């Protein structure tokens, strides 16, 4: 039985084509939310993630593949998401992350910058873009 606590609400979960983000997206759908998933996974991962979230219930699922390092791509995603959902965005879960499995001492600055761009600035860009919606 689907819980309808979030029926009529739209959620965006970044980093949700696998792992914790996919579990969060599925849980939101199980409570009745329409869920937009975002991630740069393979086509197979994306198809599987959409199927898993849809199976949990909710008001539908759609994938948006915006690169969170690019504010323009995020703005475009927000416009498309708003059109798809028929209105605003009620829930944002900034879950996206990128792993560079090295100690700080062994990590190149370019890798560190990439991690910061996704983890920190990606969350900032998404929050800033969602705020007016």
Please spell the DSSP secondary structure of 20-78, one letter per residue: HHHHHHHHHHHTT-EEEEE----HHHHHHHHHHHHHH-SS-EEEE---TT-HHHHHHHH
- Supply the pLDDT for residue 96: 95
Question: Which tens digits make up the pLDDT trace of 3-43?
Answer: 678 999 999 999 999 999 999 999 999 999 999 999 988 99
- Supply the pLDDT for residue 2: 58
Is residue 112 a contact partner of residue 37, using CB atoms and an 8 Å limit?
no
* Per-residue pLDDT at 1 exceeds 90: no
**What does each C-alpha distance from 36 to 13, 48, 106, 110 come to in angstroms?**
6, 14, 36, 30
Q: What is the spatial distance between Cα 17 and Cα 95, in angstroms, rounded to a whole number?
A: 11
* Per-residue pLDDT at 64 exceeds 90: yes
**What is the number of residues in the chain?**
133
Q: What is the spatial distance between Cα 10 and Cα 14, in angstroms, rounded to a whole number?
A: 13
- Supply the pLDDT for residue 40: 85
As separate numbers, helices (DSSP H) first and strands (DSSP E) second, the chain gives 5, 4
Question: Which tens digits make up the pLDDT trace of 73-131?
Answer: 999 999 999 999 988 899 999 999 987 777 878 889 999 899 899 999 999 999 999 99
């Amino acid at each position: 039985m689907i819980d309808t606590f979030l029926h009529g609400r739209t959620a965006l979960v970044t980093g949700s084509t696998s792992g914790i983000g996919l579990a969060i997206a599925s849980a939101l759908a199980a409570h009745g939310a329409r869920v937009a998933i975002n991630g740069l996974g393979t086509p197979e991962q994306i198809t599987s993630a959409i199927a898993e979230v849809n199976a949990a219930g909710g008001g539908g699922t759609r994938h948006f593949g915006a690169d969170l390092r690019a504010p323009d791509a995020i703005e475009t995603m927000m416009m498309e998401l708003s059109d798809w959902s028929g209105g605003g965005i009620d829930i944002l879960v900034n879950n996206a992350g990128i792993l560079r499995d090295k100690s700080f001492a062994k990590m190149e600055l370019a890798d560190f910058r990439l991690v910061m761009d996704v983890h920190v600035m990606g969350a900032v860009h998404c929050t800033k873009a969602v705020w007016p919606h």
